[in-house]
Structures are given as structure tokens and as C-alpha cells.
Amino acid sequence: MIGPDPEAMQRYSFFSLARNALSQHEGWQRAWRSPPLKPDYDVVIVGAGGHGLSTAYHLAKEHGVSNVAVIEKGWLGGGNTARNTHTIRSNYLRDVSIRFHDVSVKLYEQLSRELNYNILFSQRSMIDLIQSWGKMRDLRRRSLAMALHGPAYQLITVDELKRRIPAMGDLSDVRLPPLGGMLHPEGAMARHDAVAWSYARAADARGVEIHQHTEVTGFTFAANGAVTGVETNRGVVRAGKVALATAGNTSHVIAKAGLNLPLVTRNLQAFVSEPVKPIIDVIVNCPDVGLYVMQSDKGELVIGGGTDPIPSYRQGCHFATFEDVVASLVELFPRFRNLKMLRQWGGAIEFAYDASPIISATDIPGLHVSTGWYGGFKSIPVGGLTYAHLIATGQPHPLAGSFGLDRFRGLRFLLEAGTVAQR
Ligand SMILES: Cc1cc2nc3c(=O)[nH]c(=O)nc-3n(C[C@H](O)[C@H](O)[C@H](O)COP(=O)(O)OP(=O)(O)OC[C@H]3O[C@@H](n4cnc5c(N)ncnc54)[C@H](O)[C@@H]3O)c2cc1C
């Protein structure tokens, strides 16, 4: 059992693997504890997804705040962190968004080493396929904005596209033939479970408690209106500060505190094919037709598209969206026509009206929120870093000062589009 001492955390290495093999792998420490729920904490974080766990880790590491409970209604990492297609990129348009996501990519590059946990980070690059002149103009604008900040986003020709993605068809009779592509060498993938588990283990080692199967059902307040804790299915837990990291559940969780956020909730679906031999070694994103595809380490093609066209909390298959994505896939990659699909799933994602994240204090003293994660897997390292800073110091982190709720009152929107087509 490990306690509040990062030095006591068992090191994972080739040698510890070999050593433990000698004892039939029965000597491994538990990766995190399951301590009894205490009646009060300095900080209660609601939601043990990547963002909640990364926030807990950074609270303990950078701010010495370790009397923290992360409260999770299901199991840790079982929300959208488990449902996403794990692409990581920093090809955004607005200055603050580019800087924010560039730091996240850099943190991801070091994460396996920092947390001593192999997150299977694979920086294989992403190519945005351009099939209309409007998108060409849009993405060239994006590449010029990015050139000011560091991450690369280079225009490549159709011949270069074909060289980098040989699995594509001959493209001569596709409805929207590609006009070129944008190459983002920093584009990457990482194993999503490993990201949640690595942060959980490292946060636990610094004294953070993780309480699974504990649902927050309401909030408690002081006479002055400040939040004083949460009500759960296991009783009331008092807290100096409460921080929501509940992703697609945020609008109805925060409604229990009487707040209404500028969020819309939609189903985002993905699916994987049967495994095949290595055939695509980059992430291919087609914003004009609403499709992205990559190959997992197991050989499955991981395929996704845009959100369903209507707001909903359903997490399933909207067949029209599914059909659109598959039609685009087989048009660009005719050889995938005979592949069998193995699994399909959806997740309720909540995004702000300007599609930028919200990392903010709220009108209720002591209650904080991190949400609006349209594609928030990529942002887990920097999201946790900046949210922890806000919770601990009361001041927004310099990287996330523009992501407060006040931007909606002051009309300082940060309009970003998703990478795939928006309806
Ligand atoms: C199909 C799909 C594909 C995606 N692909 C990508 C991608 O390629 N790249 C990318 O960057 N992003 C992607 N995303 C988005 C990404 O998954 C999310 O933005 C990210 O996982 C959000 O992390 P989180 O920790 O905030 O949320 P979650 O992992 O959902 O964690 C929130 C947790 O809060 C818990 N919770 C909720 N309510 C309560 C309550 N009342 N009490 C206690 N606990 C509660 C939930 O059980 C959950 O575990 C995708 C999403 C989907 C659905």
C-alpha cells in the first residue's frame, strides 16, 4: 500500500518487471489506495477522469495541497476519458488556444517519464486533408497563426499526401478530390486508460484520496452563499473548495447548485474495425467531410467524425452520422470497404458556445468548474496544471486567463472550430 510519499511509489522498470516475474507478479503494490471517506477535505474534486486526476496531481505537486478527495460516481477513468479516440494536437487558431495546447503536447511528451508509467505516447503526426478552397483558406490562416507560436503546420501537396498515406485510393473519381494537406508533426496518440491510471497513481502517492462509486448529488452552502461541501450517496463531505471536473455531466451537476452554464451537450461517436496489418502510420483528419482515421497499436482502425446534429445526453449511435462517416471513409479509402466494424460507442460531450474550454471560478464562492472540453483528452496535462493553479491561488493561470466564464458576459468569445465538420 502506498501513502503520501512520492518516493515510496513503486518504480516501474524493466528490472522491476523481471524481479516481479520471479514471484509470479504477486509482489506489485496496489496502484492507488481505497481509503475510508473522511468527513472533510481542503479540496473536493468531482470527477475522476483525466482532468480531475491531473488537477489533483498538480494540486499536490506544485501547491502542496494534498488533503484532496477526488469523488467519482463510477470508476476512475471510466467517463469520456475511456471513450475518446486519444488524438493529441495543438493546431488551433487563437493565440491563447495554440499556446495552451502546445504546452499540453510538450507535457504529454514527458509524461511517461514524469509519472513513471508508459502511456504509449506515439507522436506519429496528423495530416488534415483539404478538399475545398474554403478549408484551404481557413487552414492556411491557422498555419500562419501557429507560426507565431512554435507548433508546425505545413501545407503539403497532393503528391506528398499520397506518399505519406499510401492506403488512400487513386482519388481520381472522388466527389471532393484533395487539394493538398496540412502536416502537423506534433500530432500524437496516447493510451487513454494509461493517462488516467498514471495520474491516479501519482496523485495517490502524494496523499490524494480517490473515492470511486461515490456520486455527488448536491451541494451544501454557508449562510453567505459560499459552497461548504458536497452531498453524496455516502453522506455529506465538507470541503474548503469544490472543483467540478465532470465533463459531459457538468450542466446538470452544476444545476444542483442553481447555476446555468453556456454549454451544449451532444453525442460524439467513434468506432473501430477488426485489426489489420499496419496500413496507416499517421492520423488522417478530413475536416471537409467530417472523418478522421488512424490505426491503433492493436491494428484496429479507429474512426470518428463530428458530433450528432442535435443536443442530447444519449451516448449511442445516431445512424445518419455513422453512415456519413462511413461513406466518406470508403470514398477516400476504397480498400476499407470490406473491413468489419468491431465496436461502436458514443459519449456525451459538453462544449461552450465558442468551442473553447471553461476553467473558471463561478458566482458561488469556493465553487470552480473545468468544462467545455470538446476534444479535451489532448488538454488533460495542461488542463490539470492550470485548473490546480486557479483552485490553489484563486488566480487564473497565465495560460488560461482567457478561459474564464467572464468572457461570455464581456463578449470576449474565443471562437474555435473542431477539426471535423461542424453542423
Ligand atoms: C467518441 C469520443 C471521441 C473523442 N476523441 C477525442 C480525441 O481524439 N482527442 C481529444 O482530445 N478528445 C477527444 N474526446 C473528448 C475527450 O474524451 C474529453 O474531452 C475528455 O475525456 C474529458 O475528460 P474529463 O476528465 O473532463 O471527463 P471524463 O473522463 O468524462 O470524467 C468526468 C468524470 O466525472 C464523473 N462524474 C460525473 N458526474 C458525477 C457526479 N455527479 N458525481 C461524481 N462523479 C461524477 C464521471 O463519471 C466521469 O468519470 C472524445 C470524446 C468522445 C466521446
Task: Judge whether residue 17 has pLDDT over 70.
Answer: yes
Residue 324 covered by a domain: yes
pLDDT in tens, 156-187: 999 999 999 999 988 877 888 999 999 999 99
Determine which residue's CA is closest to atom 2 belonging to ligand 1.
84
Residues 6+ apart with CB under 8 A from 192: 50, 77, 81, 82, 84, 86, 377
The band of 4, judged by pLDDT with boundaries at 50, 70 and 90, is: low
Any idea what the CATH number is for the domain that residue 346 is in?
3.30.9.10
- Verify whether ligand 1 is closer than 6 Å to residue 81 (CB atom): yes
Q: Where are the beta strands (DSSP E) in 165-290?
A: 180-184, 188-189, 209-211, 216-221, 227-232, 235-244, 263-273, 283-286
As given in the structure block, the three cell numbers for residue 288 are: 471537409
d(CA 342, CA 298) in angstroms, rounded, equals 13
The phi and psi torsions of 414 (rounded to 5 degrees) equal -120, 75
Task: Judge whether residue 1 has pLDDT over 80.
Answer: no
Instruction: Indicate the helix (H) or strand (E) that contains 127.
Output: strand 126-130
pLDDT in tens, 115-156: 999 999 999 999 999 999 999 999 999 999 999 999 999 999
The phi and psi torsions of 358 (rounded to 5 degrees) equal -120, 120
Ligand 1 atom at shortest distance from the alpha carbon of 345: 1
Residue 124 CA to ligand 1 center (angstroms) comes to 24
d(CA 43, CA 242) in angstroms, rounded, equals 6
Residue 38 covered by a domain: no
Residue 133 CA to ligand 1 center (angstroms) comes to 34
**Domains identified in the chain, total number:** 1
- Is residue 59 within 8 A of residue 388, CB to CB? The reply is yes
Residue 174 covered by a domain: yes
Task: Judge whether residue 422 has pLDDT over 80.
Answer: no
The DSSP bridge pattern shows strands 263-273 and 341-352 to be antiparallel
Residue 71 covered by a domain: no
pLDDT at residue 221, rounded to an integer: 98
pLDDT in tens, 88-123: 999 999 999 999 999 999 999 999 999 999 999 999
Q: What domain range includes position 304?
A: 123-188+264-352
Stretch 232-244: mean pLDDT: 98
Determine the residue of 55, 73, 80, 88 to mutate for testing ligand 1's pocket, defined as the one with the most ligand atoms within 8 A of the Cβ atom: 80
Determine which residue's CA is closest to atom 32 belonging to ligand 1.
246
pLDDT at residue 62, rounded to an integer: 97
The mean pLDDT of the chain is 94
Region class of 335: left (phi > 0), else alpha (psi between -120 and 50), else beta: alpha
Residue 397 covered by a domain: no
One-letter identity of residue 174: V
Write the CA distances from 257 to 32, 216, 301, 414, integer angstroms. 31, 11, 42, 26
Q: pTM higher than 0.85 for the full model? A: yes
Residue 275 covered by a domain: yes
Within 13 A of 215's CA, how many CA atoms are on the CB side?
A: 7
Determine the residue of 377, 419, 420 to mutate for testing ligand 1's pocket, defined as the one with the most ligand atoms within 8 A of the Cβ atom: 377
Tell me which residue of 262, 334, 271 sits closest to 305, measured CA to CA.
Answer: 271
- Verify whether ligand 1 is closer than 6 Å to residue 45 (CB atom): no
The DSSP bridge pattern shows strands 68-71 and 209-211 to be parallel
d(CA 52, CA 28) in angstroms, rounded, equals 25
Task: Judge whether residue 366 has pLDDT over 70.
Answer: yes
pLDDT at residue 421, rounded to an integer: 42
d(CA 68, CA 54) in angstroms, rounded, equals 12
Residue 80 CA to ligand 1 center (angstroms) comes to 3
Task: Judge whether residue 344 has pLDDT over 80.
Answer: yes
Residue 203 covered by a domain: no
Q: At what angle do helices 95-115 and 192-205 cross, to 10 degrees?
A: 70
Q: What residue has cell string 502542496?
A: 64
Task: Judge whether residue 282 has pLDDT over 50.
Answer: yes
Residue 322 covered by a domain: yes
d(CA 345, CA 317) in angstroms, rounded, equals 7
